[in-house]
Amino acid sequence: MRNAPTILHLDMDAFFASVEQASKPSLRGKAVVVGGLGPRGVVATASYEARVFGVHSAMPMAQARRLAPNAAYLVPRFSLYRAISEQVMALLRELSPLVEPLSLDEAFVDLEAGGAAWDEESARRAGQKLRADIRAVTGLTGSVGLAASKMLAKIASEQAKPDGLVLIEPGTERALLAPMPVRTLPGVGPATGDHLRRAGITTVEELAEAGEDELVRLLGKAHGHALYAMALARDERPVVAERETKSVSVEDTYDVDIHDRLRVGLEVQRLADRCVRRLREAGLSGRTIVLKVRRYDFSTLTRSETLRGPTDDPAVIREAAARLLDSVDTTGGVRLLGVGVSGLADYTQEDLFAQALPSRAAKAPEEISVAEAVVERVEPVERQWRAGQDVRHAEFGHGWVQGSGLGRVTVRFETPQSEPGRVRTFFTDDPALEGADPLPLVPEPAVQVSSEPASLPKSWSGTVGGEATSRP
């Protein structure tokens, strides 16, 4: 393990919820919960104001509503989150060629590889400048951890939350880890944690004291060796710049089980189109089409078909998904559907459409299924307004949906740069109201990346193992 704390871990603070608060002035400082709004929805992210009430990610949305009934509950806007994530990742890549994204809002950076840091002082300066640049470019805050390994850098960023920076000094790692619960270490989930607790091991110090042989006996060779090394603050994992994408997939969980076979077929076609869009956005194609079906009794079936070569053609992927659906019994209802593509490549096989088209063209008109006929005709668009959705009104301008029901939709008209806006109610079919694209959180002319480290308000920058300073 290196000696200098030049591994940086960035974790954006309550990312989805923070984006919504920055985008909607009336929600700043308020409890905001982002996730699926149906009866089976789960929380994706909760703002810090909502966490006070016990709301957290992966919690059932129904439980969150009971804990924080007055919070704002919004659907995710992934296109906006991805755009902001790209801005943040671009800033990270200015620091080093070794950037390892873990998700839209989290990444490791090897500062030494980019010459951005080589000791404690330079690492701290790089972390402070990064936080200032992120605020300038996106208007959001991120927490930074700096240490000599990935494991410790992630622990440091957790301690820095929200909106802070923590650097773990070399030589202080064992003392820092000792009192922490075993769940702090990577790879210790609920099941492993319970297993260790039954063996009388609840802290990292007790994990180290148990010894490698005992941990191997309890957890198996690979897991036991790895956990013992981490308990001693040893983590040799490098920052990996590129992670190979193994598959691209989309899925939907339905609030009410789908029983109608025609509707199931239409949903599979829609998911196939979404999957193709993701493939093309990533510049990829794939050979293997995968269908996932979770039935009413929670049994999950997967079916796959491998083509002659990779494709990103929507017609080919739709037809393959439809053929896979034909082999699945959906009697009793469907809770979840998913379509994915694996066997990825960065090129396409141009003649693949021919393998799907003849089988369809050979059918007599009366042999084409009802589902196929319905897919081909233009369907009427049903206007649905979801809480948090961007809209534009011909007279009042840009706004977002606060709620809808009983044939009406309530809209608050405001923008990221405006004061909290007024609320107005319209009929759901009002021709003057239409969906809109999200507005940028920071106007382009206002984007200025700082060249000097900046101290930010309401944050703290501390050093574990040395003196710590805080700012109210």
Looking at the annotation, which residues are catalytic? 106
Order of all β-strands in the sheet with 433-435: 422-427, 408-413, 397-405, 390-393, 433-435
Best CA proximity match to 216, nearest among 204, 205, 229, 203 = 229
> Quick check: helix, strand or coil at residue 408?
strand
Which class for 365: exposed (0-12), middle (13-18), buried (19 or more C-beta within 10 A)? exposed
Q: How far is residue 14's CA from residue 162's CA, in Å, rounded to a whole number?
A: 9
453 near 121, Cβ under 8 Å? Answer: no
Q: How many CA atoms lie within 13 A of 137 on its CB side?
A: 19
Q: How many CA atoms lie within 13 A of 266 on its CB side?
A: 15
Q: Which residue intervals of 107-189 are DSSP H helices?
A: 120-138, 150-160, 173-177
Which residues have C-beta within 8 Å of that of residue 132, sequence separation ≥ 6? 450, 453, 454, 456
Q: How far is residue 453's CA from residue 245's CA, in Å, rounded to a whole number?
A: 35
Best CA proximity match to 461, nearest among 471, 451, 453, 452 = 471
Q: How far is CA 367 from CA 169, 321, 358, 371, 372, in A?
A: 72, 19, 14, 11, 10
Helix (H) or strand (E) holding 256: strand 247-258
The tokens of 407 are what? 């044939």
Order of all β-strands in the sheet with 43-46: 43-46, 32-35, 72-74
Which residues have C-beta within 8 Å of that of residue 38, sequence separation ≥ 6? 61, 253, 254, 255
Q: Which residue intervals of 257-410 are DSSP H helices?
A: 261-281, 314-326, 352-361, 370-376
371 near 262, Cβ under 8 Å? Answer: yes
Amino acid, res. 315: A
Secondary structure (H, E, C), 258-298: ECCHHHHHHHHHHHHHHHHHHHHHCCCEEEEEEEEEEECCC
